[in-house]
Structure 1
Amino acid sequence: MATPKFIAPSNSFYAELKSRTNAYFAEAGAHPTGNYKLYIKAAVLMASMVFLYTHLVFFTPPIWLALIECILIGGVTAAIGFNVMHDGGHGSFSKKKWVNELAGLSLNMLGANIHMWTTKHNIIHHTYTNIDGVDDDLDARPFLRLCENQQYLKIHRYQHFYFWGAYSMLYLYWIFFTDYVKYFTQKVGDIPIKKMTRKDHLSFWGFKVVHFILFVIVPIYTVGFLPWLLGFLLYGMFTGLVLSIVFQLAHTVEHAHFPIPTVETNRIEDEWALHQLKTTASFATKNKLVSWLTGGLNFQIEHHLFPKISHVHYPAISKIIKEACAEFGVAYHEYPKTRTAILSHIAHLRQLALQPVLVQR
């Protein structure tokens, strides 16, 4: 489908949010990008990745410890994606462009590709959130039905039971399949990817080869094929599960909307900021550990409204956004704990599993 348009009201709610947020940074004397806390966290995560990889591959720990370390390295991989790559990809990790690009390249070292991700995430997902047929994050077909407008298959009646398994395959499916589909079609769904330069092509293939050597060839040589296969699957599946759960708690929960553009005008009857608030939910925002590990993606509303602001500032600007929502009578969807958000996601999947009727455009 063609990308829809949003209404542009004369008195923009988003303009008021930006004004208040800019005033906060001016008064605090702070810059919207990352600070020393983020850089220390990035260093800790990167050092943890190097240590775990080195110990697993070259020091061959006992099987029980190796399995634990495979899970840990999966968690660290997801955390680097949330904290380092994500801010870097949005240009909010640092004031310096080259530092942001370097942070974004951490995704390439982990097997995926920042060029593909930028189109899929920054451009498509952040603009057309939860619009079926445009937002590629909603496309988990045929395994999962994530909104009412998607086709119902018999397998979906059990999706609220087996989704854990489907989510665990996300990372492996991403780095070994969907990246290549995007590369060779030069599209994310039906939307063209920004034209790749020679540097982009070299980066894509160069990092894919490096990742394959580091995470496949070298471990097989040092520990053997079957131990590697067991460890790599455990690592990859745990990474995928963590990534998927955090992503899904932001947009596929009970209170999230899945707007359908009007047929005649192909327009969403909301301004962009209101659309983001209707389609997005935050969770566990008072849990400092969750915030630290997920790179502030539990403050998903703040991130969608201000993606170029580093996540280290989300707790502060969250108060501003909540106050503005209360004044303007705009709903702010938030789940107090991670488990309540997970239960809401399961309830959402269960509802779609029992509701085979399609919404007509």
Structure 2
Amino acid sequence: MTTTRVEGLERGGSAPPAGAGSGSDFARLSRRIVAAGLLRRRPGYYAARLSLVGAAFAGGWGAFFVVGDSWWQLAVALFLALVSGQVALVTHDVAHMQVFRGRRASGVGGRLCGNLGVGMSYGWWMHKHTRHHANPNHEELDPDVAPDILLWSREQARAATGLPRFLGRYQAQLFFPLLTLEGFNLRVASIRALRSPTMKHWGAEAALLLAHVVLYLGALFLVLSPGKALAFLLLHQAAFGVYLGATFAPNHKGMPTLTGDARPDFLRRQVLTSRNVRGGPLTDVLLGGLNYQIEHHLFPGMPTPHLRRAQVIVRAYCAEIGVPYHETGLLRSYAEALRHLRWVGEPLRGARE
């Protein structure tokens, strides 16, 4: 397998779109997108989407209380795992100011959905996700490819110690099993982030996270016997973690990575490190529009329902200027990511490179 790093692409500066020159590749693309009306807000769409997700959330917990102390609650847990993933995807759109105009309203909405709804700190996630968007797949600058547990390049594998080195040998096989822990990891990381000096609105973040934990565990152990409550918690959080991880994994995993000063211009930095996933309306709903990852990274404030139309413009423009545009099916996207993880771990297994 060839190296996954982007080499020799230091064209243009690293400025964000607002700083791009009027004649840059991104500026020309942006004018086409604006002319097509694809940056206009869609309040009706988001009113309907938030209403449907909110109704599903309320309905799921309503079913929980109606079913009572029964093993049928495991079916409710699976349904609520799917709904929790949809709440997280709504939080993502709120964070990108696709839903509300102002930062204040977006912050309030994001904390209600993230902290209270799924137990994920909105402030922590915003700080992390902003860094990811600025430098996707940059091994030193993107926290999503930091070698915390999984390793994303052979250089990381060679330098790994401790648990990442141990898991790295078989990380492709362990990827989906490890996703069952992602729901728990989000909560632990959120609580730890409360001590960070970068955390804004600390009081609101902490209060809403505490309210989530009290209401969630209170409901489980008041309605269910201890054994059923524990089974519900484990299944709900495991399925939520797998769904969330399976939603985000196709976006960048296994795509080219960057290191050091290798920073292409904005358009290439976003397109070359991202992968789109083909599919129809069901794929759009299940992945929350993140299957149009290239378009989302180029225009993060673009309303989700416009991404499909934007794809036609962006794909044609990339072909016009000779920039590779990678798109594949959902199962193939997972295969590519897992193949990359296996390749990265080869040095740890003593395989010949």
Counterpart in the other structure of 1:189: none
2:157 pairs with 1:151 = yes
Q: Distance in 1 between matches of 2:244 and 2:285?
A: 15
2:196 pairs with 1:185 = yes
Counterpart in the other structure of 2:296: 303
Unmatched 5+ stretches in structure 1: 187-192, 262-266
Counterpart in the other structure of 2:30: 18
- From 37, 44, 50, the counterpart of 2:58: 50
TM-score by length of 2: 0.86
Matched residue SS, 2:176:
helix
Alpha-carbon displacement from aligned partner over 1:72-124 (angstroms, at most 9, x marks no partner): 10011111211x21111110113455553343220111111111111110x20
Q: 1:338 to 1:61 in 2, by over 3 A?
A: farther
Shift of 1:302: 0.7
Q: How many residues align?
A: 325
Q: Distance in 1 between matches of 2:225 and 2:102?
A: 43
Shift of 1:236: 0.7
Say if 2:91 and 2:110, in contact at 8 Å, map to a contact too: yes
Q: Which amino acid aligns with 1:288?
A: P
Counterpart in the other structure of 1:279: 273
TM-score by length of 1: 0.84
Counterpart in the other structure of 2:73: 66
Alpha-carbon displacement from aligned partner over 1:112-151 (angstroms, at most 9, x marks no partner): 1111111110x20000111113211113523x21223313
Q: What are the residue-to-residue correspondences of 1:224-235 with 2, within 5 Å?
A: 224-235=225-236
Q: Distance in 2 between matches of 1:235 and 1:44?
A: 20
2:202 pairs with 1:201 = yes
Shift of 1:156: 1.5
Q: Distance in 2 between matches of 1:164 and 1:251?
A: 16
Q: Distance in 1 between matches of 2:226 and 2:11?
A: 53
Shift of 1:243: 1.0
Shift of 1:331: 0.6
- From 327, 330, 341, the counterpart of 1:338: 330
Shift of 1:31: 5.3
2:133 pairs with 1:126 = yes
Identity percentage over the alignment?
21
Alpha-carbon displacement from aligned partner over 1:272-292 (angstroms, at most 9, x marks no partner): 2211111111112x3210102
Matched residue SS, 2:98:
coil
Say if 1:104 and 1:114, in contact at 8 Å, map to a contact too: yes
Say if 1:6 and 1:271, in contact at 8 Å, map to a contact too: yes
Counterpart in the other structure of 1:212: 213
Say if 2:133 and 2:297, in contact at 8 Å, map to a contact too: yes
Counterpart in the other structure of 1:190: none
Q: Which amino acid aligns with 1:184?
A: R
Say if 2:69 and 2:228, in contact at 8 Å, map to a contact too: no
- From 301, 315, 322, the counterpart of 1:329: 322
CA RMSD of aligned residues (A): 2.1
Unmatched 5+ stretches in structure 2: 1-9, 14-19, 159-164
Q: What are the residue-to-residue correspondences of 1:97-176 with 2, within 5 Å?
A: 99-105=105-111, 106-109=113-116, 110-121=118-129, 123-139=130-146, 141-142=148-149, 144-152=150-158, 153-175=165-187
Q: Distance in 1 between matches of 2:43 and 2:147?
A: 36
Counterpart in the other structure of 1:81: 88
Say if 1:124 and 1:134, in contact at 8 Å, map to a contact too: yes
Q: 1:69 to 1:206 in 2, by over 3 A?
A: same
Q: Which amino acid aligns with 2:295?
A: E
Shift of 1:59: 3.5
